[in-house]
């Protein structure tokens, strides 16, 4: 009896969902859902995804209605949130954090008519696509500017956790800097947090005390930019333009820009042309870009970094082109060879020029 009621209930919910989706074709706007791991006001990762959502709203006025859920913990709660969105007639759902992968895949199997897109993961299905950005391209280009601007040849990198994404970023930054300044070294400090303004600030100060004069970060708060501003060194912002926190120090920032991708995917659903894809694009798709350079940056340095950006964009240059040696001096990539995506995705070693250990 209990089972029956539950089934009937589920059927009713499904019917309701399908009904909503069906009528969307007629006049109702397409409902698109977004699930964020952080607050949209973090001026970091989730904020940038939300900017993408706002761009979708702006582009498809009247045709698309978006919903977002912020601060969703990775785990059981996420599944509930995603299912809720699927049940309430959302035809396309973006889940924007790695930890949403399993819940997204699970809900996707239960709602074959709903289309799901998961950022930074690797599980795919007929109605589950994945997407991420080649942030390392931005880090390489900003590294070029850093390599030119440093006087001490000491660059700093505030790192969060030793996962391939972070290691790849630090390596790309180092390779970029050393492509124009072979004497440049990058000191990596791990703070073991995505987000702890106090600790990030202290990490920045520790680096500055070591003579570092350009700081890059793979953590989410603007505290390092602020600390750099106080001490009169350069800093490279993360995820969004952080110049308001360091008008003098903010060299540029590696900006995540999801709007183009989100608009394209919503358009595909509207056209009935959506397919499950695996997207990993960078400068070329506008998913990554550099924030406006500080006016104090010499024009030649700016031009050089922008030229590198252009070359990466047109696929003339790949940041991970050999010869690449690791910290021990062992050659990991042969001259002229480009690292395969599969190797980039599981990178767990530092390139030559990085000072600092991988936490074990």
Partner 1 sequence: MSDAELITLSAILAAMVRAATPLAFAALGELVTERAGVLNLGLEGMMLMGAVAAFGTAHAGWGYAPAIAAGAAAGAAMAALFGLLALTLRANQVACGLALSIFGVGLSAFLGKSLIGSPVTALPALPVPGLAEIPVIGAALFDQDILVYASFLAAPALHWFLFKSRRGLILRAVGENHDAAHAIGYGVLRVRYAAVLFGGAMSGLAGAYLSLAYTPMWVENMSSGRGWIALALVVFATWRPSRAILGAYLFGGVTILQLHAQSWGIGVPSQALAMLPYLATVAVLVLISRDETKIKLNAPACLGKVFHSGR
Binding test (CB under 8 A) with partner 1, winner from 108, 175, 223, 236: 223
Please count the other Cβ atoms lying within 10 Å of the Cβ belonging to residue 12: 10
Start-to-end C-alpha separation, the chain: 54
Q: What is the closest distance, in whole angstroms, from the C-beta atom of residue 261 to partner 1 in the complex?
A: 24
Q: Which is nearer to partner 1, 114 or 212 (CB)?
A: 212
- Cβ burial, residue 358 (10 Å; 0-12/13-18/19+): middle
SS3 316: coil
- x-or-dash pattern for partner 1, window 225-244, by CB under 8 A? -x---x-------------x
SS3 47: helix
Q: What is the closest distance, in whole angstroms, from the C-beta atom of residue 153 to partner 1 in the complex?
A: 15
Binding test (CB under 8 A) with partner 1, winner from 49, 90, 118, 187: 187
- Report phi then psi at 81, rounded to 5: -65, -45
In 3D space, the residue among 121, 134, 195, 135 whose CA is nearest the CA of residue 160 turns out to be: 195
User: Where in 306-335 is the site for partner 1 (CB under 8 A)?
Assistant: none
Q: What is the closest distance, in whole angstroms, from the C-beta atom of residue 47 to partner 1 in the complex?
A: 9
Binding test (CB under 8 A) with partner 1, winner from 198, 232, 292, 323: 198
Q: What is the closest distance, in whole angstroms, from the C-beta atom of residue 254 to partner 1 in the complex?
A: 18
In 151-249 the beta strands, taken as DSSP E runs, fall at 154-159, 185-190, 214-217, 234-239
Q: What is the closest distance, in whole angstroms, from the C-beta atom of residue 21 to partner 1 in the complex?
A: 33
Q: Which is nearer to partner 1, 87 or 221 (CB)?
A: 221
Q: Which is nearer to partner 1, 81 or 189 (CB)?
A: 189
Q: What is the closest distance, in whole angstroms, from the C-beta atom of residue 140 to partner 1 in the complex?
A: 23
Q: What is the closest distance, in whole angstroms, from the C-beta atom of residue 275 to partner 1 in the complex?
A: 37
**Cα(265)–Cα(259) distance, integer angstroms:** 10
In 3D space, the residue among 300, 352, 289 whose CA is nearest the CA of residue 149 turns out to be: 300
Q: Which is nearer to partner 1, 229 or 257 (CB)?
A: 229
Binding test (CB under 8 A) with partner 1, winner from 88, 99, 163, 195: 195
**Cα(138)–Cα(163) distance, integer angstroms:** 18
Are 77 and 69 in contact by the 8 Å Cβ rule? The answer is no
Q: What is the closest distance, in whole angstroms, from the C-beta atom of residue 77 to partner 1 in the complex?
A: 14
User: Where in 38-77 is the site for partner 1 (CB under 8 A)?
Assistant: 39, 41-43
Are 56 and 266 in contact by the 8 Å Cβ rule? The answer is yes
**Cα(194)–Cα(205) distance, integer angstroms:** 18
355 near partner 1, judged by CB under 8 A? yes
Are 293 and 276 in contact by the 8 Å Cβ rule? The answer is no
221 near partner 1, judged by CB under 8 A? yes
Going by the DSSP 8-state scheme, the letter that residue 211 receives in this structure is T
* Radius of gyration of the chain, Cα coordinates, nearest whole angstrom: 22
User: Where in 5-44 is the site for partner 1 (CB under 8 A)?
Assistant: 39, 41-43
Among 82-90, 95-103, 198-206, 318-326, which window interacts with partner 1 (CB under 8 A)?
198-206
Are 235 and 251 in contact by the 8 Å Cβ rule? The answer is yes
User: Where in 141-160 is the site for partner 1 (CB under 8 A)?
Assistant: 156
- x-or-dash pattern for partner 1, window 200-219, by CB under 8 A? -xxx-xxx-xx-x-------
Judged by CB under 8 A, how many residues of this single chain contact partner 1? 38
Our CA angle for 305, 307, 311, nearest 5°, is 115
Binding test (CB under 8 A) with partner 1, winner from 84, 88, 153, 193: 193
- Sequence-separated contacts (24+) of 233-238 with Cβ below 8 Å: 233/208, 234/146, 234/149, 234/294, 235/204, 236/142, 236/146, 237/291, 238/44
356 near partner 1, judged by CB under 8 A? yes
Residues near partner 1 (CB under 8 A) are 39, 41-43, 156, 187-193, 195-199, 201-203, 205-207, 209-210, 212, 221-223, 226, 230, 244-245, 355-357, 359-360
């Amino acid at each position: 009896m209990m089972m029956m009621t539950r089934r009937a209930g589920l059927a009713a919910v499904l019917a309701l969902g399908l009904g909503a989706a069906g009528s969307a074709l007629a006049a109702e706007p397409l409902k698109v859902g977004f699930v964020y791991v952080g607050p949209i006001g973090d001026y970091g990762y989730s904020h940038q995804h939300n900017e993408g959502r706002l761009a979708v709203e702006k582009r498809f006025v009247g045709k698309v209605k978006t919903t977002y859920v912020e601060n969703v913990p990775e785990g059981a709660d996420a599944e509930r949130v995603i299912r809720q969105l699927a049940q309430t007639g959302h035809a396309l759902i973006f889940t924007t954090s790695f930890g949403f992968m399993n819940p997204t895949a699970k809900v996707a199997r239960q709602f074959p008519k709903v289309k799901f897109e998961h950022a930074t993961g690797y599980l795919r299905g007929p109605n589950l696509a994945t997407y991420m950005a080649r942030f390392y391209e931005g880090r390489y280009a900003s590294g070029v500017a850093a390599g030119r601007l440093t006087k001490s040849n000491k660059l700093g990198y505030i790192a969060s956790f030793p996962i391939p994404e972070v290691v790849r970023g630090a390596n790309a930054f180092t390779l970029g800097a050393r492509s124009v300044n072979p004497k440049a070294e990058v000191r990596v400090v791990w703070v073991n947090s995505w987000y702890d303004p106090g600790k990030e600030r202290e990490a920045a100060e520790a680096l500055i005390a070591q003579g570092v004069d350009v700081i890059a970060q793979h953590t989410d708060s603007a505290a390092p930019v602020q600390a750099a501003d106080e001490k009169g060194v350069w800093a490279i912002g993360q995820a969004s333009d952080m110049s308001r926190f360091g008008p003098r120090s903010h060299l540029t920032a590696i900006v995540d820009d999801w709007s183009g991708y989100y608009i394209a995917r919503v358009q595909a659903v509207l056209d009935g042309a959506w397919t499950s894809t695996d997207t990993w694009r960078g400068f070329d798709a506008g998913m990554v870009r550099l924030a406006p350079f500080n006016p104090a940056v010499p024009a030649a340095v700016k031009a050089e970094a922008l030229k590198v950006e252009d070359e990466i964009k047109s696929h003339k240059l790949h940041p991970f082109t050999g010869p690449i040696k690791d910290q021990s001096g062992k050659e990991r990539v042969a001259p002229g060879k480009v690292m395969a995506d599969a190797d980039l995705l599981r990178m767990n070693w530092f390139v030559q020029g990085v000072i600092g250990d991988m936490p074990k």
